Amino acid sequence: MKNFVIFLFFPTLLFSQEVVSDLVSNAILKGNKFESTSSKSIISLPFIDDFSYDFPQVNPDLWEQSSVFVNRTYPINPPTIGVATFDGMNEKGLARDFYPSTSSEPSDTLLSKEIDLSGIDSAFFLFYYQGKGMGDAPQSQDKLVLEFLSDTGWVQIWETSGQAMTEFEKVVIVIDSAIFLSNDFQFRFRNYATISGNFDHWHIDYIKIDEFVNPNAINELNDVSFVYNSPSFLKRYTQMPWTHFQQDMLIELKDSIDILLRNNDASNSVDYQYNVFENLNLITHYPSSGISRNVSVLDFDTIGNFSFQNPPIDISSAVFSSFQPDTISFLVQNIIETSSSDYKNNDTLYHTQKFHHHFAYDDGVAESAYGLNINGAKIAYQFKLNRPDEKLRAVQMYFPQMLDTVSDIPFELIIWNHNNSQPGDTLYTQTVYPVHTENGEFHTYIIDNPFLVSGVIYIGCEQTTDDLLNIGLDKNNSANDYMFYNIGSGWNNSSYPGAWMIRPIVSKDPIILSSDDIVDDFKLYPNPAKSELFIETNKPENVISIYNIQGVLIKRITSNTTLNRFNIDNLASAIYFIEVENSENRSYQKIIVK
């Protein structure tokens, strides 16, 4: 359960007025609904799911019921990239009960489909788990349990009590009872938590069930995997306008990147490469000579995560070669090649490097909320512009929905100039209100009278009450050198690691937008899709293409309507790219086929 504590703040505590709060909802899950495949076929061994897929729902071919959140941002040092997170919310990312009892209540369930364990003498059940990670620590009364289904009902096999963990622990259970060695074996994980929000996190990774014939199988996963998402290729920002990047590429572009790998008792020999695509056309390959770079990745128990530091992964100064005048996106594909026995689903990693109208330090996902509890307090975010006399058109902010809405409380949106490494004179102020958006979208505040800015500026706000405004806080990127707050005694850097979710939009041309300046030229739905896919374009006369993840053309049509229907029954479950091309431009989006 969650213990609620009242803190008394005193002026002598320098950072006491900064408050980081747990979220009460998960915007990524809003609008998503888990639907298991209708197939009743029984799963044969081995059963493996490491949750390495890059979408928030579990694999519907393996799971019958789920309310967990699949993600890459909450765990610390997972065995493989991606985990299933259990919390106090339902499958739609909303609190189950805003006024729960004082005890921990049942919350999330992850129920497998039927698995064939007949005809074998014994099987092993292996998984990894972590409490808290980057999220909220489950309390002592909270727990995570594993249950097997028998003829008489569910039998609890394992449980753990609430704790904060910085590493994952492995659990291995040998199944040798005839009660469970049947052709319709099922298991489920459940958690008990405070069910009023995004609390009491447990993360599960790499569930594996197989016949128990060799004790080494229990000890060794034989798998090398990526650990976290691919980093931005930019030194300062995660995203920035293309025109500003072009103005000073050598300053803005990293010389190298580091990607973490984890060797789970597999072969030490690993080949790595990355490819950069523009509109699915390969424009850059690493290494510059040869197909891949071979590295020796020792086991995690020996060195921890492997880091590309000696030498690092070089980035060519011409990695993003384009003459686009405004906005553009590049797809970065990271690949590791390992032994044939290695589980392959976690060996490819994608990252979209976006150059749109805005500057961003965050990755677009909030793990917490940040606020100040002082009337008149200010926050200021530093941004450096590479083009002089640029018009500031708008400011985007993300306010996650909290228990106490502040949408009726005004605040002052402020832009400052730069003075001695901190905010200086006020350039602009505008009275606005917090807007809580759906699905994690930023709200855009249009500047009433767009004005020219140059050099270093600061974007932020001043509170008119002591209520927490709760700006989204991305805990997977750190921008603290550029985050300042002032409670009346001068400017200080924020003491909480992370990145505020505030983005200024600059352009010499007017920008038409609603909630985000990243406007897709087409819409596709549903996503994920199963049997049919609808593609809606802004104008007729398009060439629509479907490519697989390797860039191979699967299907192409010439369309003269704005709404097109594709039958995708013949497509295997995987990730595909949809390309829409017309006389003006080409754009693409990612689609998941279940």
Written in H, E and C, the secondary structure of 387-424 is CCCEEEEEEEECCCCCCCCCCCCCEEEEEEEEECCEEE
From CA 594, how far away is CA 584, in angstroms rounded? 32
> What pLDDT was estimated at residue 325?
60
Residue type, 388: P
From CA 260, how far away is CA 584, in angstroms rounded? 40
Write out pLDDT tens, residues 350-395.
888 989 889 999 999 999 999 999 999 999 999 999 988 788 999 9
What is the separation of C-alpha 519 from the centre of its chain, rounded to a whole number of angstroms?
Answer: 20
> What is the β-pairing status of strands 260-264 and 281-286?
unpaired
From CA 100, how far away is CA 547, in angstroms rounded? 48
Q: Provide the greatest CA pair distance for the chain.
A: 77
CA 6-7-8 angle, to 5 degrees, is 125
From CA 120, how far away is CA 501, in angstroms rounded? 53
In 3D space, the residue among 498, 462, 181 whose CA is nearest the CA of residue 370 turns out to be 498
From CA 565, how far away is CA 557, in angstroms rounded? 11
> What pLDDT was estimated at residue 323?
62
> What pLDDT was estimated at residue 521?
67
Answer for the pair 342, 224: CB distance below 8 angstroms, yes or no: yes
CA 60-83-300 angle, to 5 degrees, is 130
Q: Where are the beta strands (DSSP E) in 297-388?
A: 306-307, 313-314, 328-337, 348-355, 368-372, 378-384
Residue 294: phi and psi, rounded to 5, are -90, 135
Cis bond before residue 287 (omega within 30° of 0): yes
Q: Mean pLDDT across the stretch 327-341?
A: 88
> What pLDDT was estimated at residue 7?
31
Write out pLDDT tens, residues 73-94.
999 999 999 999 999 999 888 8
**What's domain 31-219's architecture?**
Sandwich (2.60)
Q: What is the pTM of this model?
A: 0.81
> What pLDDT was estimated at residue 550?
55
> pLDDT: is 524 or 145 the higher one?
145
Residue type, 459: I
Confidence at 19, pLDDT banded by 50, 70, 90: very high
Q: What's the CATH class of domain 522-593?
A: mainly beta
- Checking if the pLDDT of 317 tops 90, the result is no
Confidence at 38, pLDDT banded by 50, 70, 90: low
- Three-state DSSP class for residue 531: coil
H-run or E-run covering 247:
helix 242-247
Q: Which residues pair with 121 in a beta bridge?
A: none
Length of the chain: 594
- Checking if the pLDDT of 401 tops 80, the result is yes
From CA 260, how far away is CA 476, in angstroms rounded? 14
Q: Would you say domain 368-506 falls under CATH 2.60.120?
A: yes
Average pLDDT taken over every residue of the chain:
87
Answer for the pair 122, 97: CB distance below 8 angstroms, yes or no: no
From CA 526, how far away is CA 520, in angstroms rounded? 15
- Checking if the pLDDT of 271 tops 50, the result is yes
Percent of the chain with pLDDT over 90: 59
From CA 567, how far away is CA 577, in angstroms rounded? 15
Q: Mean pLDDT across the stretch 130-141?
A: 94
Confidence at 16, pLDDT banded by 50, 70, 90: low
> What pLDDT was estimated at residue 513?
44
> What pLDDT was estimated at residue 481?
96
The total of other beta-carbon atoms located within 10 Å of residue 299's CB is: 16
> What pLDDT was estimated at residue 503?
97
Confidence at 49, pLDDT banded by 50, 70, 90: very high
> What pLDDT was estimated at residue 23?
87
From CA 553, how far away is CA 556, in angstroms rounded? 8
Long-range contacts of 519-522 (CB under 8 A, 24+ apart): 520/587, 520/589, 521/580, 521/585, 521/587, 522/578, 522/580, 522/587, 522/589
- Checking if the pLDDT of 518 tops 50, the result is no
From CA 535, how far away is CA 539, in angstroms rounded? 12
In 3D space, the residue among 117, 110, 151, 111 whose CA is nearest the CA of residue 42 turns out to be 117
Cis bond before residue 46 (omega within 30° of 0): yes
- Checking if the pLDDT of 22 tops 90, the result is no
Write out pLDDT tens, residues 148-184.
999 999 999 999 999 999 999 999 999 999 999 999 9
In 3D space, the residue among 518, 370, 509, 508 whose CA is nearest the CA of residue 442 turns out to be 518
> What pLDDT was estimated at residue 551?
60
